[in-house]
Amino acid sequence: MVEKSFKKFTSDITFDKDTYVIIGSGIGGLTTAVFLAKAGKKVVILEQHYTPGGFTHTFKRRKGLVWDVGVHYVGNMHEESKLKSIFNYLSNNKLEWDPMGDPYDVAHIGDRKFEFVSGVENFRKKFYEYFPNDKSAIDSYIELLQKSTKKSLLYFVQKAFPFPLSVLLGPLFRRIHRSISHKTTYEVLSSITDNQELIAALCAQCGNYGLSPKESSFAAHCIVINHFIDGGNYPRGGANRIHETIIEHLETLGVSVYINAKVEKIITLGKTIKGLTINGQLFDCENVISNAGAYNTFNHLLDADVLQKKHKNFGKIESSTCHLCLYVGLNKSDADLGLPKYNIWWYADKDTDKILNDKENLSDKKLSFAYISFPSAKDSLWPTEHPDTATIQLIGRAWYKDFNKFEDQPWLNRGDEYDEIKEDFKNKGLALLFELYPQLKEHIIHAEVSSPVSTKKFSNYQKGEIYGVTHAPQRFKTRVLRPRTHIKGLYLTGQDITLVGVGGAMASGILTASTIVKWNMSKQFKEIMSKY
């Protein structure tokens, strides 16, 4: 039913001068659209892909097997959660969540196993058991996590400030945040403990923001860990239900979502938006919100002559990590195979920085790192909708240097060398799965691998990255990653202006909408608090 409403973009479409045209239908763009539409603004969403949703979309293979491409779990979805209230608001109460239970994550580090359980005190108790001689360090770590929340909130709020407030309070809020954002995770943790195994365990979930402890900003680490501190949840019916329910709501608000609408250029006159080139044709418009990623916006959609010096230097900020993903389909149910709901973070040993920064990892005989997710086990509707089947995803880190020579080759026909790389990763991934779950051997009916060039094709991220801009300290030092740009009528939304993940992208949509409608947002916040 939902797919019928996804309209293909056609050349006869026009935009009113007061319409806000959103490039990209990921969660950042969809959230921005709901809040703007509720504020009485005209909104249109353009998606280059043949399906909307960004990294919330799913794909299908034979026997009804379905995999998500980016949403493996979402935190902070308990009944009292403000995040859950906002998603209820966005989906008009149509989006439901299945809790993953405890543990929700399990880390294998060398020959030890660490369970991540929901609730601060439960987490504390678990890690006391694992590291009985490091209780004071664990307490210090939890205290740092809790103190980081207000600092991060101030940092993100100042991004939406109008000019006078931005000048007056922005520097103060950024300075407060600097104590956690400009230090690496390893710098902070090594100041409270010299136990390298404890540091490795505390950072086992670092794949959620894509950087090892010595690379990542401690601010990014805190936000992600705090997000999951009360456990993990999965959208009931699959990851696609996130964008489907929101788009259903948008349609009732008069917002159209167009697919097959590739924006090639943002056209400006001086420093003012004048239009867009879409599928090779020029369309007039005066208000554009880019959810295409900051790097794409500044370095590809805009001409270089309209960028200020600070935007031109934006190219020096690195992109986030790439990945290879093995998608596995099975001909028995999760229950029959004894598969868990929890995710697995698998490291060969405690030197996570060495493992995650091994740029020659493709030539290794075995995987030294993997993230393993069991999406069908997490979804309570799966057994009814897809009986006697199950799905698994196994992700490893990749480097674009190993794949850029294939980027201009046709999809599904990139040559023998490319296929050999994927086949090798598939075999190593299956070997690890059989080591952990030997009962899978006779039940695999499908296995395929996606690469960074696949990510580039479908998301348009230029280096195959999945998390946008790097979550290293340099991310928090730039002033460019904010909703309002120096070009009149051009705004940014999406994970680059906040942080990685569904929650981060959703927060970006609120920031961008707040920047545009200003104090009128208070009405919507009151509605959320009273009805959702």
Question: Is the model's pLDDT at 255 over the cut of 70?
Answer: yes
Whether 306 contacts 485, CB under 8 Å: no
Tell me the mean pLDDT in the region 438-448.
Answer: 97
> How confident is the model over 421-429, as a mean pLDDT?
97
Q: Which amino acid is at 107?
A: A
In order of 98, 207, 469, the CA distances from 481 in angstroms are: 33, 22, 9
What whole-number distance in Å separates Cα of residue 205 and Cα of residue 231? 13
Distance CA 373, CA 433 (A): 11
Q: pTM for the whole thing?
A: 0.95
Where do the domains of the chain lie?
3-58+236-317+468-531, 119-230, 321-339+374-459
For 458-514, write each residue's pLDDT tens digit: 888 888 898 999 999 999 999 899 999 999 999 999 999 999 999 999 999 999 999
Residues contacting 175, CB < 8 A, separation 6+ = none
Q: Is 224 left (phi over 0), alpha (psi -120 to 50) or beta?
A: alpha
pLDDT band at 5; cut points 50, 70, 90: low
Q: Is the pLDDT of residue 419 over 80?
A: yes
Instruction: Give the mean pLDDT of 110-119.
Output: 97
Distance CA 526, CA 273 (A): 33
Report how far residue 64's alpha carbon sits from residue 387's, in angstroms, rounded to the nearest whole number. Answer: 10
In this predicted structure, the answer to whether residue 309 has a pLDDT above a threshold of 90 is: no
Any idea which fold 3-58+236-317+468-531 has? FAD/NAD(P)-binding domain (3.50.50)
pLDDT the model gives residue 2: 38
Average pLDDT, the chain: 94
Please report which helix (H) or strand (E) contains residue 461, including its range: none
Using the Cα atoms of residue 464, residue 467, residue 473 and residue 474 in order, give the sign of their dihedral.
positive
439 by DSSP, 3-state: which? helix
